[in-house]
Structure 1
Amino acid sequence: MATDIKDTTHAVEAAAVMKLLPARPRLLALGEPTHGEDTLLDLRNELFRQLIEQEGYRTIAIESDCMMGLAVDDYVTSGKGTGTGTLDEVIEHGFSHGFGASAANRELVRWMREYNDGRPASDRLRFAGFDGPLEITGAASPRQALTALHDYLAAGVDTDLLPCTAETLDRLLGADDRWTDPAAMRDPAQSEGQSAEAKELRLLADDLVALLDAQTPHLITATSRDDWDRARLYGRTATGLLRYHFWMADTSPIRMTRLIGLRDSMMAANLLALAERGPALVHAHNSHLQRDKSTMRMWDQPLLKWWSAGALVNARLGKEYAFLATALGTIRHQGVDTPPPDTVEGLLYALPENRYVIDSHGLATALGNTRPASRVSPYYGYSPLDPAHLAGYDGIVFVKDVPQS
């Protein structure tokens, strides 16, 4: 069996990845089983460079706040000497979830700006966050996205077409800390999401998005396609946040299941918009990119089950979506030691090299009727591969040992 498994392995290179796929996908998703490990992000960066050079990829999208990511995109697409801030400022304000602390993310941003310097706009690399402005402890105020959408429309269409004034939005939004109170994640009664003002804002946001759609031919000509795309992002984010806040105020037993599903729906909408722009490398946790239903335990809640962004995008794009799951052997600094030999990770750990791309369909054939055991993680921040999901992967990236960043 070991010989057969070894025959399914390849070097971690873009060319090897593409040989596993029927055609170049519009979205190539690379998952990770844990966050915060620069070894995995360095591998992502290396693969992105190869995809740029060999396959014409020009966009990378990561599991970070889509609104904050606009600052990173502005920085990497602008020429040196422009007023888009310093690298330090962009790293501090352009990433959510603490991802700005990663040396690999910093190097990605630095390198992308250097690559773009002097290139025509059509050939520049682009950066995107595709997560909503959401954290585990709560959600952002819809103010930034909603007012940015209103400002864009107010500058581009007849005032009489606007459903409200900026002052009306400001009054209804109120103080931002009404929306961002972390207590609302545990206690629905603390949420602003089902107040009279929030319900009116949902209707106005819907009208603003409808106006944006209706005025598309004029707005693309009067501004630019990039500006219009960004306005669409504002619209998706404003309506998504208002919907998320509404259900934060829900008291039913399926509240958390609904919220986590809404988050991935926002992710999926952002990814589908990016797919319109051209091929992109997508990087996020495996659970947000897999085709199978995702599961997670959270606090004292029953097991949460939801369709991930990857599953939603795959349903729309079919073969133009591809997913590589990343598996790993050890993260010893987090208490994750040598995997049991009867798990997927254990079988791959027995191979001699430190990292591979594995043909997951070939691996399934090599295993035959043998179903590997499920690995149990001693570290809450690491999720082993589910052997039952092997058929849903286009490939597996395996990293044997992950040293401390």
Structure 2
Amino acid sequence: MSIDHAPYLSTLSRRGLFGLAAAAAGTTLLRGPQATAAGTAVGTEDAFADWLDRHATPVRTSPRGPLDDLTPLRRTVRDAVVVGLGESAHGTHTQFALKHRVARYLVEELGFRTIAWEESWGSGVVLDRYVRGDGTDARSAVGQALFMLRSQAMLDLVRWMREFNRGRPDWDQVRFLGADVLELRALQYDEIERFTAAVAPARLPRVRALLGVLALRGTPQEHLVWYKYRLTEDERRPLVAAARELHELVRDAAESRAARRGRAAVDPDDAVLHAYALLGFYESGSAAGIADDVRDRYVADLLTFWHERTGHRIAYGAANAHVAAAEEMVVEFPPDPPVRRRLAGGLLRARYGAGYVAVGTVFDHGTVLTGWEVDGGPRVYAVPPPSPSFADALLGRARLGDYLIDLRRGGPTEVRDRLDGPASLRIMSSAYDPARDEHYAQHLPSWRAGFDALLHVRTVAATQLV
């Protein structure tokens, strides 16, 4: 199976794909990375490097093999309900494989039973059904994922999940959750209609009419471009209203006596979440939705609903910006200006307190697959060591290359002051210009406001597409 790098990719922007760019006036901005540079914190770099050498623990990056190197995570995670697993670039095989390894540890050693990802809800359902043993081929299931996740690393993850589940009772199986609303899938439409026909046939004509209004225009990717780039805000508004009405109808049907009697061919909870994620796509794609960080509110809601539904502890893999626990941060993706955002990790910290733990992943140098916005599709870029303005540069001074450091550990005054001071981390999305490397940034009010722990990788290799 190969990916069709269709022309629509050049239409997508950081704003469309990741919702991390300014979209409305009135946002409060910081200056560039120098405003929060690691080098401006109190204390010396030597003291910080010494602290890293005394407290960092080595990690292996392959998802296979014994997990004893991750034992220190037990103290970091403790009784967390959700653990965010970040990455500083979506296009590296190495960071994904390390997150797979951490997810293995959380599942096998700490009893986590859901692995959520920065993946759309509908395609997540396909992956979940695969890992629970349906007849789908792994490549077919991964082929429905977001285009950047159709990779060897994702294949390795879901194949491991399926093997882990083999022979286990339903209640003890690990589940896959697509915890995002980036795209829609036909499965959502089909199962909403089937569910309504089974439990609320009187409402079926109206549900079908709404589904018709909201129908996919071409592939999920073509539909995304159509909605976000070809419609005016006035044209989007009735679609948001239709999606909201549809969600209300499905939610009411799920609470009906017929649904409670178990007559539905589709699980009522699935039907409600199909409709909720559909509403999330339309709301987050509107101008108001982008300005209000609505997409990340839906991410936090999907994770919360899933925990309430299953009781599972959840490992949530996404970009460092989405995972960071800070109430607010500033993100910067050239050529767009920096903008203040409130993203999923901050919402989860507000909901769960210490029950949400954020673990970021950073790297020093290597190769990254990105450039999805360029005609002809992505390519591999060589990424240099980080600018001194980035906290990543200071983390790279440790004796170890690949390691875990708990940022909550004690240290001398200059180290504590630094960790409680501002930090900028390098972060890459769907486009990259090496000449502007120091401006691809996530600016945090403090290291420890953003992350409880960090994983550092010295050298990364690019994502391997399948």
Please identify runs of 4+ aligned residues in structure 1 that moved more than 6 A.
none
Q: 1:390 aligns with which of 440, 444, 447?
A: 447
- For residue 274 of structure 1, report the CA deviation from its aligned partner: 2.3
SS of the residue corresponding to residue 361 of structure 1 reads coil
Q: Does 1:31 align with 2:63?
A: no
Q: Does 1:283 align with 2:317?
A: yes
- For residue 361 of structure 1, report the CA deviation from its aligned partner: 2.6
Distance 1:340 1:302 in 2: 19
Distance 1:68 1:223 in 2: 25
SS of the residue corresponding to residue 325 of structure 1 reads strand
Q: Does 1:313 align with 2:360?
A: no
Q: Residue 89 and residue 343 in structure 1: after superposition, are their counterparts in 2 closer, same or farther (change >3 A)?
A: closer
Match for 1:182: what amino acid?
Answer: V
Match for 2:282: what amino acid?
Answer: L
SS of the residue corresponding to residue 211 of structure 1 reads helix
- For residue 267 of structure 1, report the CA deviation from its aligned partner: 1.1
Aligned counterpart, 1:208: 249
Q: Which runs of 5+ in 2 are unaligned?
A: 1-46, 60-68, 369-380, 428-432
- For residue 149 of structure 1, report the CA deviation from its aligned partner: 2.4
Asked if structure 2 preserves the Cα contact closer than 8 Å seen for 1:359 and 1:396, the reply is yes
The correspondence of residues 91-240 of structure 1 with structure 2, limited to 5 A, is 91-93=142-144, 95-100=145-150, 102-134=151-183, 140=184, 145-146=188-189, 148-157=191-200, 159-160=201-202, 162=203, 164-173=205-214, 176-177=217-218, 180=223, 182=225, 184-186=227-229, 188-189=231-232, 192-195=235-238, 198=239, 201-202=242-243, 204-212=245-253, 214-215=255-256, 219-222=259-262, 227-240=267-280
The correspondence of residues 367-386 of structure 1 with structure 2, limited to 5 A, is 367-370=415-418, 374=424, 379=434, 383=440, 386=443
The correspondence of residues 322-401 of structure 1 with structure 2, limited to 5 A, is 322-331=357-366, 334-340=381-387, 343-362=390-409, 367-370=415-418, 374=424, 379=434, 383=440, 386=443, 388-392=445-449, 393-401=451-459
Asked if structure 2 preserves the Cα contact closer than 8 Å seen for 1:163 and 1:208, the reply is no
Q: Residue 387 and residue 155 in structure 1: after superposition, are their counterparts in 2 closer, same or farther (change >3 A)?
A: closer
Asked if structure 2 preserves the Cα contact closer than 8 Å seen for 1:73 and 1:126, the reply is yes
SS of the residue corresponding to residue 28 of structure 1 reads strand
Asked if structure 2 preserves the Cα contact closer than 8 Å seen for 1:68 and 1:129, the reply is yes
Q: Does 1:85 align with 2:120?
A: no
- For residue 263 of structure 1, report the CA deviation from its aligned partner: 1.3
Q: Given the two structures, how large is their TM-score scaled by the length of structure 2? A: 0.71
Asked if structure 2 preserves the Cα contact closer than 8 Å seen for 1:14 and 1:51, the reply is no
Q: Given the two structures, how large is their TM-score scaled by the length of structure 1? A: 0.81
Q: Residue 122 and residue 172 in structure 1: after superposition, are their counterparts in 2 closer, same or farther (change >3 A)?
A: same
Q: Residue 115 and residue 375 in structure 1: after superposition, are their counterparts in 2 closer, same or farther (change >3 A)?
A: closer
Q: Which runs of 5+ in 1 are unaligned?
A: 135-139, 249-253
Asked if structure 1 preserves the Cα contact closer than 8 Å seen for 2:289 and 2:295, the reply is no
Asked if structure 1 preserves the Cα contact closer than 8 Å seen for 2:94 and 2:461, the reply is yes
- For residue 175 of structure 1, report the CA deviation from its aligned partner: 6.5
Aligned counterpart, 1:304: 339
Distance 1:115 1:188 in 2: 45
Q: Residue 131 and residue 208 in structure 1: after superposition, are their counterparts in 2 closer, same or farther (change >3 A)?
A: same
Write the deviation string for residues 222-279 of structure 1: whole angstroms up to 9, x where unpaired.
168992321221121122233235x25xxxxx67424xx1211121111112222211
Q: Residue 381 and residue 275 in structure 1: after superposition, are their counterparts in 2 closer, same or farther (change >3 A)?
A: farther
Give the root-mean-square deviation of aligned CA atoms. 3.3
